[in-house]
């Protein structure tokens, strides 16, 4: 059975970092999305299972539990759940004037979209912040933006591909 949570943010008063949507899904075998291009950054974190991400240049990545991937604005992608071990994931779509800096500090590029964690505790905090954004529909916009900043901080600090900060 397909289980989903999703929250679409209605108030877009934030310019430096703005959430657009957050959600959770437990896919069925082979379930897919795309091809599609997004307007904003979209980050997926795999809670369990596996799947495949395909970029518009036909590069594919097998993504497993504990990993994630980032889709860039205007990047055409397709992704699908593994046949034997379909993935369960949480996602967040975001943008703003600081978004590209967060993405850069976390070590992502259109040619390097896969997230691998270097710290389990920080990764768990990131995962929890993402779930809280998807689940807590009644919280204030300031609570939600605080969780987005927590997510961003944890993404940067836990990414094994993040460049060293001087």
Check if the beta carbon of residue 118 is closer than 8 Å to that of residue 154.
no
Task: List all residues 6 or more positions away from 121 whose beta carbon is below 8 Å from its beta carbon.
Answer: none
pLDDT tens-place string over residues 5-56:
555 555 555 568 888 899 999 999 989 999 999 999 999 999 999 999 999 8
Check if the beta carbon of residue 77 is closer than 8 Å to that of residue 71.
yes
Query: Does position 160 have pLDDT exceeding 70, yes or no?
Result: yes
Tokens matching residue 58: 């036909």
**What is the per-residue DSSP string for 55-80?**
ETTS-EEEEETTEEEEEPBT-EEEEE
Check if the beta carbon of residue 94 is closer than 8 Å to that of residue 44.
no
- State residue 163 phi and psi, 5-degree precision: -70, 150
**Which pLDDT belongs to residue 23?**
92
As a whole number of angstroms, the distance between CA 27 and CA 49 comes to 9
pLDDT tens-place string over residues 68-124:
999 999 999 999 999 999 999 999 999 999 999 999 999 999 999 999 988 888 888
Query: Does position 166 have pLDDT exceeding 60, yes or no?
Result: no
As a whole number of angstroms, the distance between CA 90 and CA 40 comes to 16
Instruction: Name the band, by pLDDT with cuts 50, 70 and 90, for residue 165.
Output: very low
* Strand extents, DSSP E, the chain: 3-8, 18-26, 32-37, 41-48, 50-55, 60-64, 67-71, 76-81, 88-95, 114-116
């Amino acid at each position: 059975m397909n289980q989903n949570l999703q929250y679409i943010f209605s108030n877009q008063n934030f310019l430096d970092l703005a959430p657009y949507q957050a959600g959770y899904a437990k896919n069925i075998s082979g379930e897919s999305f795309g091809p599609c291009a997004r307007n904003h950054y979209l980050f997926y974190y795999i809670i369990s299972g596996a799947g495949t991400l395909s970029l518009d240049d036909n590069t594919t990545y097998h993504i497993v539990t504990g990993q994630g991937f980032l889709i860039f604005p205007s990047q055409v992608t397709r992704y699908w759940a593994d046949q034997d071990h379909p993935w369960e994931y949480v996602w967040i779509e975001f943008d703003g004037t600081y978004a590209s800096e967060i993405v850069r500090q976390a070590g992502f590029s259109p040619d390097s979209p896969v997230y691998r964690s270097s710290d389990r505790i920080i990764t768990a905090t990131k995962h929890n912040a993402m779930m809280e954004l998807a689940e807590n529909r009644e919280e204030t916009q300031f609570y939600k933006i605080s969780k987005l900043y927590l997510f961003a901080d944890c993404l940067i600090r836990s990414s094994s591909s993040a460049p060293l900060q001087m």
